[in-house]
Amino acid sequence: MEQRAMKKLAESIRKTVKSFNKFEIECLIQLFYSLAGSSVGKVDNARLDRNTFRGVLQNIFGMTHDMLMNRVFFVFDKDGDNHVNLQEWIKGLAVFLRGTFEEKMRFCFEVYYLSGDAYISREKIFDMLKSSLFQHSPEDENEEGVKDLVEISLKKMDYDNDGKISFADFEKAVKKDGLLLEAFGPCLPDAKTCFHFETLVFKNNPPASF
């Protein structure tokens, strides 16, 4: 791995990502190329496909929810090419690890509405809650119970009573009760997981793999 290329790349990324210093960005670059099975010189070719990225979410960040792992992948994948490139990786991790409350709020909202009209609809809430509650025991599904939870969620978060949750609704609800940030399923790593990740990657400069 050529150090000059690494430093040049880190300096370039540092201009748009302020959450990490240059050393930390270099560590994240090394980890990215290790996960992608590529070398730092092949900047344009290194990408993480969905399965590799899901492995990162599962093995490094302890996520297990299939639907939400896919949604997190699509939020990281800003250009929609079905891969996460280096810039997307570092910008996404900036929110994951060190995002402000506002950034995390916007991230979670994006995960929850994912596509369409930038609203979290009744149907999307139903799908997420059903998937989250019954992912391990589909035989115990109780759709009426899920529908009740959907209505409770809307009553708590749909401030303008239009049957769906806009970002303004979501922001107001989450600022009132921080526990609602991940109301429809976990899509951010907890503080302990973030600390473990940073210790491994930044202090061990970084490990070859997890």
Alpha-carbon distance of 193 to 177, in angstroms, equals 23
Strand (E) or helix (H) holding 87: helix 86-98
Instruction: Please give the Cα distance from 91 to 85 (Å, whole number).
Output: 10
**Per-residue confidence band for 88, with pLDDT thresholds at 50, 70 and 90:** very high
Mean pLDDT of the residues in the chain: 88
Residue 140 has pLDDT above 90, yes or no: no
pTM of the entire predicted model = 0.87
Residue range 124-152: mean pLDDT, rounded: 79
Domains of the chain: 3-99+190-203 (1.10.238.10), 101-182 (1.10.238.10)
Residue 36: C-alpha distances to residues 60, 144, 172, 210 (Å): 15, 43, 39, 13
Tokens 């107001």 correspond to what residue? 172
pLDDT at 97 over 90: yes
Ranges 44-53, 104-113, 189-198: which has the least confidence: 44-53
Does residue 63 come out as left (phi exceeding 0), alpha (psi in the -120 to 50 range) or beta?
beta
Write the pLDDT tens digit of every residue in 34-68.
898 876 655 557 899 999 999 999 999 999 888 89
